[in-house]
Amino acid sequence: MNRRQCLQVLSTATVGALLLPRWATATPLLSTLPERSLSFHHLHTGEKLHVTYWADGSFLPDSLNNINYLLRDFRNDKQLPIDTALLDQLVQLQTCLNQPCEFQIISAYRSPETNNMLHANSNGVAKHSMHIEGRAIDIRIPNVPLSALHQQALALQAGGVGYYPQSDFVHVDTGHVRQWLGS
C-alpha cells in the first residue's frame, strides 16, 4: 500500500468514525492483513523481539505474553497486558510508512510506583499516565525521521500523540484523539 492509498483509507475511516462507535473503526487498515507482526528493540534492556501476535483471525496468547514481557516496566519487572489496540496502531503506522519497522522502545508499561517516581522528578510525566494501563508507548524508528513518524501517528486519528523532538521520541496511546508537544 503506498502513501496515497494509506491516506485514502484513513480519510474514509475518519468519516466512518464519525458515524460508528470507536471500536467499530479502530483498525480499518488491518482487515486486509492476513497476520499482524511487529519488531521491537527495547533501548533500556537491549532486548529484541520479532513476533506475529495475530493470525488466522485471532490474537495469539503466547505472542501477547512475549510482548507483555518485553514491554514490562524495566525498572521493577512488573507486567500488565498491553492493549491490543495499541499494537494494532503500531501495525497501522508501519503499513502507512510502507515498510516493516523495528520500533525502538523508550517506555511502554509503567507500574504506578515507577510512574509516581518519574512524575515527582519531571513535569513531562502525567500523574495518571496511560502507560500505567498498558495503553501507551514511547517510540522511534531507525531511518524514519521523527517528524514523519509524528505526522503518520496524527493521521491515524487513533488516540493521543505526543511529539518530543528534543527527547527523540513520539508517544502514542489508545486514549481520546489529542496531540501535544513535549520537550
- Please report which confidence band the pLDDT of residue 3 belongs to, taking 50, 70 and 90 as the band edges: low
Helical segments of the chain, H only: 3-19, 22-25, 61-70, 84-96, 112-121, 146-156
Domain that holds residue 149: 3-181
Mean of per-residue pLDDT scores for the chain? 87
Which of 180, 44, 48 lies closest to 118 in space, CA to CA? 44
Over 60: is that where the pLDDT of 83 sits?
Answer: yes
Question: What are the beta bridge partners of residue 162?
Answer: 171, 180
Q: Looking at the 3D structure of the chain, how many domains does it have?
A: 1
Residue range 15-69, pLDDT digits in tens: 443 333 333 334 556 888 889 999 999 999 999 999 999 999 999 999 999 999 9
pLDDT of residue 128: 85
pLDDT at 11 over 80: no
Would you list the DSSP string of 46-81?
A: --EEEEEEEETTEE-HHHHHHHHHHTSBTTTTB--P
12 — pLDDT class (breaks 50, 70, 90): very low
Contact of 89 with 152, CB cutoff 8 Å: no
Give the neighbor-by-neighbor strand order of the sheet with 160-164: 58-59, 48-55, 35-42, 102-107, 136-140, 169-173, 160-164, 178-181
Cβ(106)–Cβ(140) below 8 Å:
yes
Q: Which residue, chain included where needed, has cell 511487529?
A: 38
Q: How far is CA 111 from the centre of its chain?
A: 18
The predicted model scores a pTM of: 0.84
